[in-house]
Amino acid sequence: MSLSVAVAGASGYAGGELLRLLADHPEFTVTTVTAFSNAGQPLIALQPHLRSLSHLTLVETSAENLAGHDVVFLALPHGKSGEITAALPEGTLVIDCGADHRLTDPDAWARFYGGEYYGAWTYGLPELIHADGSRHRDQIAGATRIAVPGCNVTAISLGLAPGIQAGVLQADDIVAVLAVGPSGAGKALKTNLLAAEILGSASAYGVGGTHRHTPEITQNLIVAGGSGVSVSFTPMLVPMSRGILATSTAKLAPGATAAQVRDAFEAAYGQEPFVHLLPAGEFPRTADTVGANTALIGLAVDETAGRVVTVTAIDNLVKGTAGAAIQSANIALGLPETTGLSTNGVAP
């Protein structure tokens, strides 16, 4: 079969990555690409690396232009997706890569985002383990409205959820520091993202619990069985175009051993196609995930501090956004989950 696909926000980084992956997907055919200020321009003028899609021209982002497709992917700033999705046909599979439908708590939305709350959709993190041991992919199958997680959220949630679910980690004192590439901030021109500003430098942002991904991380760890969840996470902007390296720590549960911690993660991810636990003593590099839909996790127990340390690497534009969207679409449509997605990165 060939399913018609529209991508909204096709001129941005996330939209471009969606198109790169969709171009080689055997079951999807991209027929419509949309943008706001760039409408009317050839796609190739904004995404010159997408040679196989050079026949496409950007049209205005509107419900009218998006309707009539089998699958619609939205790569829009928060507040923009919700304005459009209500007007799309119920039978259309809509995957939102933005924030508008991630949070289940309206108060959390009001605090961290503001503006109209558009309601929560099925959450697009298939590997998220639930307190009862099930996986979130069970909820994605057959869904027609899916919200893709935030990229930082994916790295931290996958790096901690198995230990919380197994009861070997405590959720009341979680600290995470992330090295993040600037592509996660989007393609809009911003002084702090200029090469002259970031090359040879690292800087923190969203400090002190202000980052908008904070309530989403908490939401996921509660789903995994965490009680009294407290998350302090600080992202650091570093000079790499892509990637997230999340170092997350949590208190070791009383009586839990290092062997039990590793067993929990091996049980959770041993059969997962895209989330890989590295051998003991090994830790991932962001370079090993570039272009791949993988999350690579290294694990250690700091017995002196009584804490577990996980180091998770992802490509923020693939497993952190576009890859997760396509993976979720595959599940929702009953296709093999790995269709059109690679575990092989690009090196050097």
Sequence spans of domains, the chain: 3-148+318-333, 152-314
Average pLDDT over residues 273-282: 98
CATH number listed for the domain at residues 3-148+318-333: 3.40.50.720
Q: How far is CA 243 from CA 12, 14, 145, in A?
A: 17, 13, 27
CA proximity to 229, closest of 291, 294, 157:
157
On the question of pLDDT at 1 being above 70, the answer is no
Question: Considering the chain, what is the average pLDDT of its residues?
Answer: 96
Average pLDDT over residues 261-287: 98
The model scores a pTM over 0.85: yes
Q: What 3-state DSSP class applies to 154?
A: helix
Q: How far is CA 200 from CA 141, 197, 240, 263, 339, in A?
A: 45, 8, 10, 39, 38
On the question of pLDDT at 312 being above 80, the answer is yes
Residue 276 CA to residue 319 CA, distance in Å, equals 12
- Give the residue numbers marked as catalytic: 151
Assign domain 152-314 to its CATH architecture: 2-Layer Sandwich (3.30)
* pLDDT recorded at residue 186: 86
